[in-house]
Amino acid sequence: FKQANLKANSAAEVMSKMDKLQGDMRNKNMELADMMRERDRAMADLQRLENSRADDLERLRRDLEDSEDRARELSRNRGSEAQDMLRKFNGEKDALQRQLDDRAAEAEQLRRELDRLRAEHELQHQTKDDEMAVLQAGMDHSIVAMANLKKQMGGGQSDLQRRLDSVLAEHALKLRRILDSILRSCADKTDEAVFNLNDPGNPGNMTATVEHVLATVEQAHDLGKMLSSSFARYLTNPDGDQTEVIAAAVGLSNGLEHLLANMKGVSRLANGEDVVERIIKASRQAALVGRQFFTKGQSGAMEQLKPSERHSIILDTNHELQLSLGTLTTLAESLVRRDVTKVSVTNTSEDISDLVEREMLSAARAIDEAVMRLQSLANQPRDSSLTDRQVQ
């Protein structure tokens, strides 16, 4: 019986241990099931992330391919446009170059024709001066011969004295008329220079530099002083030699003409329309003051003045001319810095092709204007009633 109890007790212990082990196993199975569910959920999340990543990568790959295709297409289009623009620019440049060469050849031909006409005019002018000199020498010889004849025949020949005085007065009148004609011609030439200065279509001497303008102003200074001194000597002896007055007047009119053309040409260097207007106004004033030399110096104007007032008129006119030329000197000197830095002060950010094209167009316009000017001068009818000095 004891053995049966021991076996029963052992069996009960075994059964309790088995129940305990089964409970533990059930717990382990539940934990294992939870872990498997967590594993499946994690695997599902991983699969979903992998699928989403693959979709994103595919979308990004397609976007990249589309961007590359657009970039290649845009590059091809821009390359074609650049080539078309380059071909168009080269074609226009070649056409402009051909036009420039043609216009330059026409300008050169017109310049040669103008030089030939000037040479012919100078020859005619020289011939007329020689004829005038011969006539002057003949008249002087006649006057001397008549004076000698007067001395030989004595003081009793009153009729011959009157005739001699009449010839001398007529000779002096002719000389004064010649001087008045030359002064009027100089005044007309100055008026023409002022007209060209005011003409917007006349650009002036476009090749003039500031240094050349200053030299021209200095030359006008000297010519004004020379004309003033020669006029003073002539007024002291009105029956004396007039060649100094004539040469100085012609020189001053030519100097003023060159000065106005150079001042208008160099005004292109001015910084602003107000500076250009001051240059044009000062140049016009200097020319008008110089013109007073030619109008006030004529015999008709001098005869209306007292002998004591004639010298002061000439001196006052010369003083006004020197002041006007001084103003021109100041304006021209203000352009020296701009003239020197004109080439270096360039917008470096500007495309070189645009700069070359603009300069070529500017040169073409300047040549067109020069050609039109030369053609207008060549086609202008010549008035046969004008003297050589008036034509000049």
DSSP H stretches of helix in the chain: 2-153, 158-198, 210-236, 243-266, 273-296, 299-303, 307-333, 336-340, 352-379, 388-391
* The pLDDT of residue 136 is above 80: no
Which of 105-119, 199-213, 237-251 shows the lowest per-residue confidence on average (mean pLDDT)? 237-251
Residue 51: what pLDDT? 84
- Percentage of the chain modeled with pLDDT above 70: 74
Higher pLDDT, 240 or 318: 318
Q: What is the rounded distance in angstroms from the CA atom of residue 54 to the CA atom of residue 238?
A: 117
Residue type, position 211, single letter: E
Q: What is the rounded distance in angstroms from the CA atom of residue 64 to the CA atom of residue 70?
A: 10
Residue 350: what pLDDT? 47
Residue 378: what pLDDT? 59
Q: Which of 254, 118, 126, 134 is nearest to 185 (CA)?
A: 254
Q: Which of 332, 302, 55 is nearest to 221 (CA)?
A: 332
Residue 153: what pLDDT? 59
Which of 93-107, 279-293, 361-375 shows the lowest per-residue confidence on average (mean pLDDT)? 361-375
Q: Is-contact 280 328, C-beta < 8 A?
A: no
Which of 17-21, 136-140, 226-230 shows the lowest per-residue confidence on average (mean pLDDT)? 136-140
Residue 343: what pLDDT? 41
- What confidence tier does 386 reach under pLDDT thresholds 50, 70, 90? very low
Q: What is the rounded distance in angstroms from the CA atom of residue 347 to the CA atom of residue 318?
A: 46
- What confidence tier does 363 reach under pLDDT thresholds 50, 70, 90? low
* The pLDDT of residue 385 is above 50: no
Q: What is the rounded distance in angstroms from the CA atom of residue 292 to the CA atom of residue 304?
A: 15
Give the tokens for residue 244: 């100094």
Give the tokens for residue 11: 């069996």
Measured from the Cβ of residue 66, the count of other Cβ atoms closer than 10 Å reads: 10
* The pLDDT of residue 377 is above 80: no
Q: What is the rounded distance in angstroms from the CA atom of residue 89 to the CA atom of residue 353?
A: 8
**DSSP single-letter state for residue 191:** H
Residue 370: what pLDDT? 59
* The pLDDT of residue 346 is above 50: no
* The pLDDT of residue 273 is above 60: yes
From residue 300, alpha-carbon distances to 13, 59, 190, 245, 317 in Å are: 166, 104, 20, 16, 17
pTM: 0.47
Mean pLDDT (whole number) for 25-54: 86
Residue 168: what pLDDT? 65
Give the tokens for residue 180: 């008045």
Q: What is the rounded distance in angstroms from the CA atom of residue 118 to the CA atom of residue 121?
A: 5
Supply the mean pLDDT for the chain: 77
- What confidence tier does 338 reach under pLDDT thresholds 50, 70, 90? very low
Which of 39-43, 140-144, 150-154, 284-288 shows the lowest per-residue confidence on average (mean pLDDT)? 150-154
* The pLDDT of residue 188 is above 70: yes
Mean pLDDT (whole number) for 117-136: 74
* The pLDDT of residue 340 is above 80: no
Torsion of CA 61, 63, 69, 75, to 10 degrees: -120
User: In 3-state terms, what secondary structure has residue 264?
Assistant: helix
Cβ contacts of 230 within 8 Å, gap of 6 or more: 244, 245, 247, 248
Q: What is the rounded distance in angstroms from the CA atom of residue 137 to the CA atom of residue 310?
A: 29
Measured from the Cβ of residue 274, the count of other Cβ atoms closer than 10 Å reads: 9
Q: Is-contact 388 121, C-beta < 8 A?
A: yes
Mean pLDDT (whole number) for 296-307: 78
Mean pLDDT (whole number) for 46-69: 86
- What confidence tier does 361 reach under pLDDT thresholds 50, 70, 90? low
- What confidence tier does 264 reach under pLDDT thresholds 50, 70, 90? confident
Residue 390: what pLDDT? 42
